[in-house]
Amino acid sequence: MPDYRQRIYRHYLEAGATAPASDKLAEFQRRAPYLEKLIGDYFPENKETAILDLGCGAGAMEYFARRQGFGKITGIDRSPQQVAAARSLGLTGVREGEALEFLESLESESQGLVIVFDLLEHFRKDEALRFMDQVNRVLTPGGKVIIHTPNGASPFGGRPGHGDFTHETIFTRDSLGQLLTACGFSRVECYEDQPVVHGLVSGLRWLLWRLLRSGLKFYLAVETGSLERNEIFSQNLLCVAVK
């Protein structure tokens, strides 16, 4: 029986034509505060590091990384529409392909950083193990993987987690740590997707987020009797792991 995902992907990729480059640039700018902070916080100091962005979409990460001086970044996405949008913006590092197949074609220890944004949840558990084994293989010693994925521990994690019919596995900090440790990563750290302060409105959102998460933390303390852990409550989580 054909993989059901091929049928679903075919239909949602056919849902509309490629958005104009101006629309993609507007989308990139909405994401700018978050992506620029992520690059500043977690990208390597060496601007010549080889970077691989798997499931890169229209190349937003390449767009902002190149603006900060990173020149060796390759993006892989299975959507021809997304790749066409990236090319229309001059993002020549974006290629069409399957992420796992591309990983398996690379030489061992050839990448200093691998980015896996909103992709890992599309794999079954056995596929996720195979995928992360390959990520570990292609990373240089001390290289990093940055993962962004729905957070199953969030009160609203079901919104991104079950918002796509092709999502197979929803992670928490603990289960993601189990996967990455089994695949050979030595240090795994997970973070909340907090609002990034870049103005008055975002500053207010950040303050309200801190207030709301205090209430959620209090709820867990009442239920479990423990305040020891710094829980992750955002709908998505960010994970950084080192080989």
Give the total number of structural domains in the chain: 1
Question: How much is the pLDDT for 224?
Answer: 85
Bridge partners, residue 241, by sequence: 145, 188
Residue 124 covered by a domain: yes
Residue 159 covered by a domain: yes
Write out the chain's pLDDT in tens, 243 residues: 457 777 776 665 555 444 555 688 888 999 999 999 999 999 999 999 999 999 999 999 999 999 999 999 999 998 888 898 899 899 999 999 999 999 999 999 999 999 999 999 999 999 999 999 999 999 999 999 999 999 999 999 999 999 888 899 999 999 999 999 999 999 999 999 999 999 999 999 999 999 999 999 999 889 888 776 788 999 999 999 999
Q: Could you list the residue range(s) of the whole structural domain that residue 22 is in?
A: 4-196+233-242
Question: For residue 139, what is the domain's CATH number?
Answer: 3.40.50.150
Question: How much is the pLDDT for 17?
Answer: 44
Residue 45 covered by a domain: yes
- Tell me the pTM: 0.92
Q: Which H or E run contains 96?
A: strand 94-96
